[in-house]
Chains A and B, each alone.
Chain A
Amino acid sequence: MKLSDEMLEKAAEQVCTTLAASVPDPEAQDGTFSPEFEAKMARLIKKERHMAALGKFARNAAACLLALLICAGTWLAIDTETRAASLNWLKESLYRGGARYEFDNEGSDMPLAEYELSSLPEGYRLTISSKEAEVHLKMYEGDGMPLMLKYCKMVESQNFGISSYVWEAPFHSTSVTVNGLQIDCYVSGNANSPNILVWLDPSTETAFILSGLFPSEELLVYAESVRPVK
């Protein structure tokens, strides 16, 4: 017996109708959300409304962008290195003292390797290795504050960033280039708050965060030591 697409579509519609009838009326539901959730959603919707005002300008700009893209497309078609980099092009935005990284990348089938710090502060050792919501975490502890390495795949669906709650004082950000990769350094203005490095490796589609109560120069040394586990 062959199940045609038409038969399957009709059956699926019937199941959906029955499923909808089996759940309570959405308007008659009781319940509340936590203030944190409500606040988060309200901020997002407010932000979206603000973005709408910029929408008209964006649409006009889109025409100009289209012309630019046609030129860029020709370039990308002949330059494989640039093409690889642009596919992983990211947008970064600062928000409320934190930084959010967004990826314009649907992700290839390339598996995410396991990474570790090959150079550690004296007396430090790996104490936690875990994975939550596709973000890997490695924590190294010694006498001082922990050194924390987080990494994940650079895919569009991934939430990736750092929040302002880690700092109790203003911070400043700078960028340095190490081994051809740009590393964003978020340096805390509070001696008791960690400094944070964020970098992205398009060749492996991996985004990294390294944080710890170390001078940013020292953190950069540890960042350079990040290696795939053999």
Chain B
Amino acid sequence: MLIYLQTLSSDAERTKLEALYRKYRLLMQSVAMKVLNNRQDAEDAVHQAFLSILKHLDKISDIHCPKTRAYVVIIVERKALDILRTKQRIVPTEPEEFYRDSEPPLPGDNGLADAMAKLPFRYREALLLRYAYGYSTKELARHMNMNQDSVQKLIWRAKEALRKNYEEGGCDA
């Protein structure tokens, strides 16, 4: 956190940072608790999430809009799952495989948005960050602790899964 606080360059961004922290910290804690069920771990996840968010403050235009609320939820879920992964080394499955509470309700368009909402967490996360928040491959790689080649493959697989969901849903382009 300190590192990124020190890199902020304008008064506006500092205001945005503090406002984000005040507004969303309890929601973020609640989301992290759902994944981790441990208060201290949840606090760590919130802290890690803020480190990540502070690197991408430019992607937040209005701290009060729904898009920002969804953004902080997506980021803190990822950080909580990362902590879960390090704590559950004995479990030979990916945390995303047994953490299913994160599936959002369907937008109800019977189309591409519903198909995207039904994707597994990892695929959905990558597509949302890429197409709703404009994350580059490099930014996604840093966020997901992957190299850029792996992120490109992940995006490709996510699009394939999305296409399959979409077509199985009886929709044509």
- Give residues in A with beta carbon < 8 Å to B: 1-3, 5, 7-24, 26-27, 29-31, 33-34, 37, 40-41, 44-45, 47-49, 51-52, 55, 100, 102, 106, 109, 132-133, 156-157
Please classify how large the interface on chain B is, using the bins under 10, 10 to 19, 20 to 34, 35 or more: 35 or more
Query: With A11-B113, A15-B116, A34-B40 known to touch, is A3 a contact of B107 (CB < 8 Å)?
Result: no
Instruction: Among B18, B21, B86, B104, point to the contact of A19 (Cβ < 8 A).
Output: B104
Q: Are B107 and A34 in contact (CB under 8 A)?
A: no
Q: Are B30 and A24 in contact (CB under 8 A)?
A: yes
Query: With A45-B5, A51-B6 known to touch, is A3 a contact of B162 (CB < 8 Å)?
Result: yes
Instruction: Among A15, A23, A31, A40, point to the contact of B107 (Cβ < 8 A).
Output: A15
Instruction: For A20, list chain B residues within 8 Å (CB).
Output: 66-67, 69-70, 73
Bound CA span A102–B3, Å: 8
Q: Tell whether B122 is near chain A: CB-to-CB under 8 Å.
A: no
A-B contact pairs, 21 of them (CB 8 A): A1-B166, A1-B173, A3-B163, A3-B173, A8-B131, A10-B113, A11-B112, A16-B67, A17-B107, A18-B117, A20-B69, A21-B66, A26-B27, A29-B26, A31-B29, A31-B30, A37-B43, A41-B1, A41-B21, A48-B17, A102-B3
A to B contact number (C-beta, < 8 Å): 145
Instruction: Among B40, B109, B138, B159, point to the contact of A3 (Cβ < 8 A).
Output: B159
B90 CB, min distance to chain A CBs, angstroms: 13
Bound CA span A109–B24, Å: 34
Instruction: For A45, list chain B residues within 8 Å (CB).
Output: 5, 18, 21
Q: Are A22 and B104 in contact (CB under 8 A)?
A: yes
Q: Are A23 and B31 in contact (CB under 8 A)?
A: yes
Bound CA span A211–B15, Å: 40
Instruction: Among B27, B124, B159, point to the contact of A23 (Cβ < 8 A).
Output: B27
Bound CA span A208–B92, Å: 30
* Residue from A8, A12, A33, A51 having most chain B Cβ neighbours under 10 A: A12
Instruction: For B106, list chain A residues within 8 Å (CB).
Output: 18
Instruction: Among B17, B21, B142, point to the contact of A157 (Cβ < 8 A).
Output: B142
Q: Which residue from chain B places its CB closest to the CB of A9 in the assembled complex?
A: B131
Closest 7 pairs (CB-CB, A-B): A20-B66, A29-B26, A14-B113, A48-B5, A12-B132, A12-B131, A16-B70
